[in-house]
Amino acid sequence: MVNKRSSLIACGAFLFVVWNVLLIFVFWGQPPASQQRDRGQVDTGQLAKDVMKMADAFQSELEAQREILLQIQGYRALWEHQPQNVGAVVSKADMSKDIIPVLVMACNRVTVKRCLDKLIEYRPSADLYPIIVSQDCGHEETANVIGSYGSQVTHIKQPDLTDVAVPKQHKKFMGYYKISRHYHWALQHVFRTFAYSSVIVVEDDLEVSSDFFEYFRGLYPILRSDPTLWCISAWNDNGRDGFVDPGKANLLYRTDFFPGLGWMLLKEVWVELEPKWPAAFWDDWMRQPQQRRDRSCVRPEISRTLTFGRKGVSLGQFYDKYLRYIKLNTEFVPFTKLDLSYLQRQKFDRAFNRDVYAAPQVTFEDLLQGKLAGSGPYRVQYSTQDSFKTFARNLGVMDDLKSGVPRAGYRGVVSILLKGRRVYLAPPPGWTHYDPSWS
């Protein structure tokens, strides 16, 4: 496309020069009117008038040609500064060399070494995937660990280590306020100071899979081109061993739940979120409808991150019961070579709704008691908040909802594998929207 535009510009400039050369020959080769009337006599007064007339015409033509040339130059500037993905779906090849930094959020855990070791081991290029470690807390031992990596990472430090002014009833949540402040500062640094156009965010207690970078690189073009997506996540909230299909490491879903725990964000979304960034509980704030705006994330069947950090401000909430059992993918999937267009909303919704609601509806009791024959899939239907929580709890999946959205859910549906059979925990057919009062 760039070569074609350059050719058009060169052609326009060439025609401009040729046109003016022809004009010069025409004007200078044309005898004055007085000479055409009488070649035998020279009327100096009329000759002067004719010359002035030709000069005025020549000047007018030059002005017109100058305007044309300025228009050509204007279009050239417009083309050179136009984003590549405006008005068309950008190919994977166009973005294969885009720099995608990894932002590691650190504080006071020296085990950040485990996170950094895997990132450095698996990243295919230090130039394409620079690692930025943003440290809060001012913990010296952790700073020393990060510093030991030298030029392999960029170490930045959140400068404001003071306590945050919080409401009296939120004193016990001070840690959440500091985390939100840190995220705001670090993301602002990535997008404003370093001027990157995207980022992969990981916490210091995450271990990544061998195809972590391949996963995000493969999904980067669709995040760029599909306005109904606003993040790519490496995490499946219900991705415990035994609840996912080990033979489908390439299986991806859309989800209405913001998963976090290894996720990609574009600068355009940050520009939208930054002015209203919350003082605390930033991840739950991201899950509110005002921020989500009916957009989805992509998540994998099998997680590309694994959390090993029980210690934290949440005091191990969910860790012992769910998070420690998440299965980390071990099969390298060449996502950059796969056709992922099925994740576009219209295509995905059509196939997803067909699969879910074509599955026979079964009772919860029959499912748990093993009375069902066949390999599935099956559908268990819920219609109230209480019924969802009861079914989810007894199926062994996470039962909490944020602004009405279940973890890993899409259009109200949670998909899991149970004893080798696909099971959809789903609302009735005709579902239209989430109820934010469900929480």
Per the residue annotation, which of 43, 94, 98, 283 is the catalytic one? 283
pLDDT-based confidence at residue 322 (cuts at 50, 70, 90): confident
- At 373 the pLDDT is 85
- At 55 the pLDDT is 53
- At 50 the pLDDT is 60
Which uninterrupted H or E stretch holds 200? strand 198-203
Task: Tokens for 1, please give them.
Answer: 């496309």
Whole-prediction pTM: 0.79
**Rounded Cα–Cα distance for residues 292 and 33 (Å):** 76
Distances 306 to 121, 233, 405 between C-alpha atoms, Å: 16, 12, 23
- At 201 the pLDDT is 98
Distance spanning both ends of the chain, measured CA to CA: 50
- At 78 the pLDDT is 30
- Tell me the three state secondary structure of residue 203: strand
**Rounded Cα–Cα distance for residues 205 and 306 (Å):** 8
400 catalytic? Reply is no
Q: How many other C-beta atoms are found inside a 10 Å radius of the C-beta of residue 172?
A: 9
Q: What is the pLDDT of residues 347-357, one digit of tens each?
A: 999 999 999 99
For Cα atoms 224, 227, 230, give the angle at the middle one, nearest 5 degrees: 75
Sign of torsion over alpha carbons 362, 367, 371, 377: positive
**Rounded Cα–Cα distance for residues 247 and 277 (Å):** 40
- At 241 the pLDDT is 93
pLDDT above 90 for 65: no
The answer to whether the beta carbons of residues 398 and 351 sit under 8 Å apart is: no
- pLDDT mean over 359-384: 91
pLDDT above 80 for 64: no
Only one residue has tokens 């990535």, namely 190
Beta-bridge partner residues of 133: 104, 155
pLDDT above 60 for 30: no
* Residue predicted with more confidence, 202 or 28: 202
- At 369 the pLDDT is 86
- At 46 the pLDDT is 61
Residue 436, φ and ψ in degrees, nearest 5:
-60, -15
Poorest-pLDDT segment among 129-138, 368-377, 414-423: 368-377
- At 315 the pLDDT is 42
- pLDDT mean over 269-286: 98
Q: What is the pLDDT of residues 378-405, one digit of tens each?
A: 999 999 999 999 999 999 999 999 999 9
- At 217 the pLDDT is 98
pLDDT-based confidence at residue 43 (cuts at 50, 70, 90): low
The answer to whether the beta carbons of residues 72 and 12 sit under 8 Å apart is: yes
Q: How many other C-beta atoms are found inside a 10 Å radius of the C-beta of residue 84?
A: 14
- At 323 the pLDDT is 84
**Rounded Cα–Cα distance for residues 389 and 367 (Å):** 16
